[in-house]
Structure 1
Amino acid sequence: MKSMVRYMKLYWHFFAAQVKVMTEYWVDFIIGFMSVFFIQFTSVYFIKVVFDHIDVLNGWTFYEILFIYGIASTGRSIHQIFFDNLWLVGRDYIRTGNFDRLLIRPLNPLFHLIADKVQQDGVGNLVLGTILLGISMNHLAFDWGFWDIVLLIVMVISSGLIYSGINLFFVTFSFWMVDSFPLMQTAFNVSQFARYPLTIYSKPIRIILTWVVPYGFTSFYPATLFTGHKNYTTLALITPAVAAIICVIAYGFWIIGLRAYTSTGN
């Protein structure tokens, strides 16, 4: 317990230092925020264009798909803001030998790696995702109560942890490959499919997005709890458990990779 409190306090110091750096470069922050915001907005606008010509897509309305997209964007923003440094493990830490710096300090190396960076660009995803959720929630045939909002927040946090856990799993290959960025990029690109109802895809793709690279739990399955699509209630409710399992597996694999690490000086 004391160790957890210590790490929480340490992370706050790391986070505060990163925020001070960001406030020194407001133009960079605004450009990063706006670029991410507008890139994601173009995808949403494309969905709007499609629904200008149809009313329903395989049983899903425009606002239901907007709700799925909103959960995906807010979940991804958690990963992007707090865990974005995972993308740089191979290029900026292992390849350069900078990873040794994390190993000689009295901190968990993974914690130090994560705390080393706060990605301000993720704020764009967070703002857009929140806006999309707010708009779509007003158009869903769902009677929102306090505990429903709490459940939605739990699902969004679980979504962020799933994104981060999957990324951690694939970045661990860097301990053997030096830089596993192509693997990470390939896996992350698969998540684009989960921004839309999985029912529009073929069965093999649905299986992959549920049981192989489970991005379906980052948006689609949680969304079904609030959109009236009751066929996936069980899968939706186990989303937090899926997030926990993925994080445990990814961290266990990370520990194995850490034991295999050899410095560039060896």
Structure 2
Amino acid sequence: MKRYIKLYWLYAKSHFKVMMEYRIDFLIGVLSVFGQQFASLFFLSVVFQHIETLNGWDFYEILFIYGIAFLGRALHHIFFDNLWTIGWQYIRTGNLDRLLMRPVNPLFQIIAERVQQDGFGQLLIGGGVLYVASDHLDMIWSFGDVLMLIVLVLSSGMLYIAINLFFATFSFWMVDSLPIVSAVFSLSDFARYPMTIYSKVLMFVLTYIIPFGFTAFYPAMYFFDGRGYGVMAIATPLVAIIACLIAYRFWLFGLKAFASTGS
């Protein structure tokens, strides 16, 4: 473990040195995320200028769900964004062969080769949104609540990672599964809203098939008394661990099926 921590630090330090050579690009990347997230928040505020509640949910309750989604997605975006490139950057080009020749876990190398700086902007926005929403909802935070929030946000990030890795692994058979990963991740937008506004079929899919519901909605239910789904909220860390184990096992299965582009 110490070896991998040291290696990750060396990878990250090298990556940040490269980014600092192009500081304008670094700032543009961070600012672009601010623009994207503020656009989605602006759209939400426009909707609530015309309605008071959405199937019984008010603006700040949904904003709280947004905040958890932003934080979980930011953790995935900062440290695991390179998973998106497995197909076109590693398998299609033959770069995976280079990683397999080293005495280091190839998945670790893929993850460590990129730190996405614009995710820090998303992290700041998520924290700000969560603070504003909880303030307007008059939430009283105990030490246990803060600790549980950290666990749930980490679990949310783990679920984004697991889902990304699982569908990116299809690149071993498709060469590039980016279209599938993009299509699947578009479903994560549904998890930013209360699941109760959807049909039972969609709610089932987002809970038991592609568990995006555990990235935002169910974790938020831990802090909303009387809304229900408390058991699902508490189960979020377990779901995240199981999802990561399934995704990693599937990755190992795909790795065994890998045939070099030079073969």
TM over 0.5: yes
**Is the 1:142–1:227 Cα contact (8 Å) retained in structure 2?**
no
Shift of 1:53: 2.2
The runs of 5 or more residues in structure 1 that have no matched partner are: none
Quick one: which of 226, 232, 237 aligns to 2:234? 237
| Matching of residue 255 in structure 1 with residue 252 in structure 2 | yes
Normalising by structure 2, what TM-score? 0.97
For 2:85 and 2:28, locate their aligned partners in 1 and report how far apart those are by CA, in whole Å.
21
Partner AA of 2:28 in structure 1: I
Superposition map of 1:54-73 within 5 A = 54-73=51-70
Q: Deviations over 1:230-251 (max 9, x none)?
A: 4100000010111100000000
Superposition map of 1:96-115 within 5 A = 96-115=93-112
Paired residues, what number? 263
For 2:132 and 2:71, locate their aligned partners in 1 and report how far apart those are by CA, in whole Å.
14
**Is the 1:141–1:227 Cα contact (8 Å) retained in structure 2?**
no
Please give the secondary structure, in 2, of the residue aligned with 1:120.
Answer: coil
Please give the secondary structure, in 2, of the residue aligned with 1:231.
Answer: coil
For 1:200 and 1:124, locate their aligned partners in 2 and report how far apart those are by CA, in whole Å.
29
Q: Deviations over 1:200-259 (max 9, x none)?
A: 111111001000000000000000111224410000001011110000000000000000
Normalising by structure 1, what TM-score? 0.96
Among the aligned pairs, what percent are the same residue? 57
Superposition map of 1:2-17 within 5 A = 4-17=1-14
| Matching of residue 53 in structure 1 with residue 50 in structure 2 | yes
| Matching of residue 42 in structure 1 with residue 34 in structure 2 | no
Shift of 1:124: 2.1
The runs of 5 or more residues in structure 2 that have no matched partner are: none
Aligned to 2:130: 133
Superposition map of 1:56-95 within 5 A = 56-95=53-92
**Is the 1:140–1:227 Cα contact (8 Å) retained in structure 2?**
no
Partner AA of 1:41 in structure 2: F
Please give the secondary structure, in 1, of the residue aligned with 2:229.
Answer: helix
Superposition map of 1:102-251 within 5 A = 102-251=99-248
Q: Deviations over 1:88-124 (max 9, x none)?
A: 1110110010111110111001001100101112122
Shift of 1:182: 1.0
For 1:230 and 1:141, locate their aligned partners in 2 and report how far apart those are by CA, in whole Å.
16
Instruction: State which drifts further: 254-263 or 145-154.
Output: 145-154
4+ aligned runs moved over 2 Å, structure 1: 227-230
Please give the secondary structure, in 2, of the residue aligned with 1:58.
Answer: coil
Please give the secondary structure, in 1, of the residue aligned with 2:136.
Answer: coil
Partner AA of 1:56 in structure 2: T
For 1:125 and 1:202, locate their aligned partners in 2 and report how far apart those are by CA, in whole Å.
30
For 2:107 and 2:137, locate their aligned partners in 1 and report how far apart those are by CA, in whole Å.
40
Quick one: which of 15, 23, 33 aligns to 1:18? 15
Please give the secondary structure, in 2, of the residue aligned with 1:165.
Answer: helix
Please give the secondary structure, in 2, of the residue aligned with 1:238.
Answer: helix
Tell me the C-alpha RMSD between the 2 structures.
1.0
For 2:203 and 2:168, locate their aligned partners in 1 and report how far apart those are by CA, in whole Å.
24
Q: Deviations over 1:43-87 (max 9, x none)?
A: 111111111222221121111100100110111011111111011
